[in-house]
Chain A
Amino acid sequence: MTDVQMPDSEPQPAPPAAPPLSALHHLKEIASVIEAGSLSKEVRRISRAVRLTVALRRRLAARDVSAFLAFALPPSSEAYSRLTSLVPKEDETEMDVDAAAPATQISIKHGLPEIEIYCSLLVLIFLIDQKKYDDAKACANASIARLKNLNRRTVDVLASRLYFYYSYVHELTNSLAEIRGNLLALHRMATLHRDELGQFCRYLFYLGKIRTIQLEYTDAKESLLQAARKAPISARGFRIQCNKWAIIVRLLLGEIPERTVFMQKGMKEALTPYFELTNAVRIGDLELFRAVADKFASTFSADRTRNLIVRLRHNVIRTGLRNISISYSRISLADIAKKLRLDSENPVADAESIVAKAIRDGAIDATIDHANGWMVSKETGDVYSTNEPQIAFNSRIAFCLNMHNEAVKAMRFPPNSHKEKESAEKRRERLQQEEELAKHMAEEDEDDF
Chain B
Amino acid sequence: MDPKLVEVTQLFSRFKAAFARNDFDTCVGLLSQLKVLLTKFPSLPPLFQQTPNAVEELKIARDIYEHAVVLSVKIEDQDAFERDFCQLKPYYMDTCGVIPPSPEEYPILGLNLLRLLVQNRIAEFHTELELLPVTALENPCIKHAVELEQSFMEGAYNRVLSARQAVPHETYVYFMDLLAKTVRDELAGCSEKGYDYMSIAEAKQVLMFSSDQELHQYITEEHPEWEIKDGCVFFQKAKETQPCKEIPSLQVINQTLSYARELERIV
Identify the A interface with B (CB < 8 A).
177, 213-216, 301, 306-307, 310-311, 313-314, 317, 342, 344-346, 349-350, 353-360, 366-371, 381-382, 385-387, 390, 394, 397, 401, 404-405
Contact = CB atoms under 8 A, between A and B. Distances in A.
B126 A214 contact: yes
Given A353-B190, A356-B194, A371-B202, A386 B244 contact: yes
A314 B157 contact: no
B25 interface: no
Contact of B189 (A350, A360, A368): A360
A140 B156 CA distance: 54
Contact of B158 (A216, A346, A370, A397): A346
Contacts of B193: 356, 359-360
A359 B190 CA distance: 7
A404 B153 contact: no
- What DSSP secondary structure best describes chain B's contact surface? helix
B194 A387 contact: no
A386 B153 contact: no
B153 A353 contact: no
A215 B195 contact: no
Contacts of B127: 213-214
A246 B150 CA distance: 22
A33 B215 CA distance: 82
23 contacts: A213-B123, A214-B123, A214-B124, A216-B123, A306-B134, A307-B129, A310-B150, A311-B153, A313-B154, A346-B158, A350-B156, A350-B159, A354-B156, A360-B193, A360-B194, A367-B194, A370-B198, A370-B206, A387-B248, A397-B259, A404-B262, A404-B266, A405-B265
B196 interface: yes
Interface bin, chain B: 35 or more
B78 to A, nearest CB: 21
A353 B150 contact: no
Contacts of A307: 126, 129-130
A360 B155 CA distance: 10
Contacts of B159: 344, 350
B23 interface: no
B180 interface: no
Contacts of B94: 177
Contacts of B153: 311, 314
Interface string B114-126: 0000000011101
B199 interface: yes
Contacts of A385: 243-244
